[in-house]
Structure 1
Amino acid sequence: MLKKPFFTIAFISWMMFVTFSSLFSFSGIDTPGLEIPHLDKVVHFTFYFVACVLGVLFLRERTSGKITLKKALIIMLLVTIAFGILMEVLQYTLTTERTGDILDGLANTAGSFCGAVAMKFYFSRERSLKWKF
């Protein structure tokens, strides 16, 4: 019986959204009254936190839990950190109105780590969801 690939679709869609949001220029869009210092770092952190969480669940779904949690966490940490670095490099090299920023890269990395820690905690609790199907 074919299972619904919810986390596969969610992960791929999220990564497409992050890619678009990272490379699209928002210079013509005005946000009146929205002046929160360092809000972009919070957005970067959130993007990669969610990416890592969805990525781990994606790996669990695709392998039916046959991959170990530790391996899934390591794979998604490496994938999301590399993807975050790639997006910053592409912003620096390909876009004219966006710039790559080391602090954005650090916020991406911090989000990935926190997402991995959240998944480790979630699957390690006594009453939590079990990793294996």
Structure 2
Amino acid sequence: MRDFRRPRLWLGLWVLGWGLCIALSLLPAMPLPGPEGSDKVGHFLAYFTLTAWAVAIFRTRGAHLLAALSLVALGVAMELAQATLTTVRLGDLRDALANTAGVAVGLSLSFTPAATLLLRLDRRLGP
């Protein structure tokens, strides 16, 4: 992890994000306004956020890649779980692709100054 003053907070929020992602994937879907297929934006944003957070909390690109691969696996697993374990959700390959696209864009932050944004925020918050 990066040299945070509050490492448990930042890691805990990331783990909470995983939990929310899993729960929201398996609970009955909430009807959202918008055209058909607009839920793909939500899939993209959820997995982008989880990956960007991983880039922000982990120091090495190897850790970033491992987190990204884990999130791709999670996205595929959630779609399979929706298709096989629930009666209220449908697995969708397009959702898995939106998840993966979010991961890819989030991972690209590894190569930008945005990778240290959370570390800078942590230091500004003081002791």
Band the TM-score falls in, shorter-chain normalisation: 0.7 to 0.9
Structure-2-length-normalised TM-score? 0.78
Which blocks of at least 5 consecutive residues in structure 1 are unaligned? Answer: none
Could you tell me the percent identity over the aligned residues? Answer: 30
From the CA coordinates, give the structure whose radius of gyration is larger.
1
Distance 1:85 1:11 in 2: 19
Change (3 A) 1:115 1:30: closer
Task: Give the paired residue count.
Answer: 116
Pairing partner for 1:96 from 76, 87, 99: 87
Distance 1:119 1:50 in 2: 13
Is the Cα contact below 8 Å between 1:7 and 1:57 reproduced in 2? no
Q: CA deviation at 1:119?
A: 3.1
Pairing partner for 1:6 from 3, 6, 9: 9
Q: Runs of 4 or more off by more than 3 Å in structure 1? A: none
Distance 2:35 2:108 in 1: 27
Q: CA-atom RMSD, angstroms? A: 2.6
Pairing partner for 1:15 from 11, 18, 36: 18
Structure-1-length-normalised TM-score? 0.75
Distance 2:42 2:110 in 1: 20
Q: CA deviation at 1:36?
A: 2.9
Aligned to 1:39: 38
Q: CA deviation at 1:13?
A: 0.7
Aligned to 1:57: 56
Distance 1:6 1:119 in 2: 21
Residue type of the alignment partner of 1:45: F
